Chains A and B, each alone.
Chain A
């Protein structure tokens, strides 16, 4: 990518502040997707510790019993829930479902694709993720 093209770059792509909740959802979807991928790789590594026998397995599991471990798992729960719920919304949208019908637009040109159905989908994904995370925290710290 050459400087001459004057592209906004990753900084602009990842800036969720300018274009409404839909752009926030886009940003959270990427972040949670990459976060889950990182967790998935870590998870494979973690479970491979079984090869070191019961002692190695237990040693590694202790990592998740620390405060930091609990917090990381809580974030993973939130990422999981948001990514799944918003993923279903995005897949429906990509199939042209719930994105509104073409119609002669009138000023001030509220775009029909940025409608309440998708907004509700995004807010519920965030809300469900927060609830699941809090439930997870309550279980993990409430032991």
Chain B
């Protein structure tokens, strides 16, 4: 399937350079295995991997399957393996990769829809499983106060984990995820911590019960790869260990 083609880019500027973009192609409906297509793409210092892929789609092969939306590391849809590591294509500049060859592949540990796009059903299912909402008996409308007050310190306890954009990079890097298809995964576990650590939430016990499972939190070995790839600084590994600290009685 290898193919080299140069893109006649009308906007080529004196500062632009060339890289070889290798795109993994696979359509589960009729392909036996995946193969790479190679394209020569010009880039500037600020060009992102997503822009390079869209360049290929625009000028050469519009059939390349890729998912994206916000182009600003907010929607979480453009996660893929870029030069061996899970990253957001819209948040990764070609210049920062320091390589003449940029290889893009679909994220590991997710079923492939086509080419670079993967299925997120399982990610969203496990996210929902840990009850990602405040649990309490009263509601804001019934209570005398207009809102549930929190001090800045109380906000600090969880706000880092609320940054999660459900991009799945952490689940793709996780070594347990690599072999255990039932593992709840770093994304959902970090979200369990996000709600457990929220002073407005009263659902700690029910959430801990959900993750205290044979394919739950105990499958984490603190390899930390999730935190190393997270594009939003969520640090799932920290959340998971703090959560386990509660469960083991190290913390209250």
CA A1 to CA B182, docked complex, whole Å: 10
The answer, among A8, A94, A113, for a CB contact under 8 Å with B235, is A113
Residue of B nearest to A1 (CB): B181
The answer, among B118, B181, B197, B238, for a CB contact under 8 Å with A113, is B238
Residue of A nearest to B163 (CB): A105
What per-residue 1/0 map shows which CB atoms of B99-111 lie under 8 Å from chain A?
Answer: 0000000101111
Are the CB atoms of A19 and B235 closer together than 8 Å? no
- Residues of A contacting B224 with CB < 8 Å? 19-20, 22-23, 26, 111, 113-114
Stretch at the interface among B2-10, B143-151, B153-161: B153-161
Report the minimum CB–CB distance from B194 to chain A (whole Å): 9
CA A8 to CA B89, docked complex, whole Å: 20
Q: How many residues of B contact A (CB 8 A)?
A: 51
CA A10 to CA B178, docked complex, whole Å: 7
What per-residue 1/0 map shows which CB atoms of A93-108 lie under 8 Å from chain B?
Answer: 1111101101111110
CA A113 to CA B76, docked complex, whole Å: 23
Are the CB atoms of A10 and B179 closer together than 8 Å? yes
Q: How many residues of A contact B (CB 8 A)?
A: 37
Are the CB atoms of B228 and A20 closer together than 8 Å? yes
Are the CB atoms of A114 and B237 closer together than 8 Å? yes
Q: What residues make up the interface of A, taking CB atoms closer than 8 Å to B?
A: 1, 4-10, 12-13, 18-20, 22-23, 25-26, 29, 90, 93-97, 99-100, 102-107, 109, 111-114
Could you show 5 A-B contacts with beta carbons less than 8 Å apart?
A5-B111, A96-B246, A99-B237, A102-B156, A102-B238
Report the minimum CB–CB distance from A31 to chain B (whole Å): 13
**Which DSSP category, helix, strand, loop or mixed, fits chain B's interface?**
loop
Most buried by A among B176, B224, B225, B244: B224
- Residues of B contacting A7 with CB < 8 Å? 108-109, 177-179, 181
CA A4 to CA B179, docked complex, whole Å: 13
What per-residue 1/0 map shows which CB atoms of B225-240 lie under 8 Å from chain A?
Answer: 1011111111101110
Residue of B nearest to A97 (CB): B250
What 9 A-B pairs are tightest by C-beta distance, nearest first?
A: A96-B245, A105-B233, A109-B233, A111-B227, A95-B250, A26-B223, A113-B238, A8-B178, A19-B225
What per-residue 1/0 map shows which CB atoms of B155-173 lie under 8 Å from chain A?
Answer: 0111111010000000001
Are the CB atoms of A9 and B223 closer together than 8 Å? no
CA A25 to CA B222, docked complex, whole Å: 10
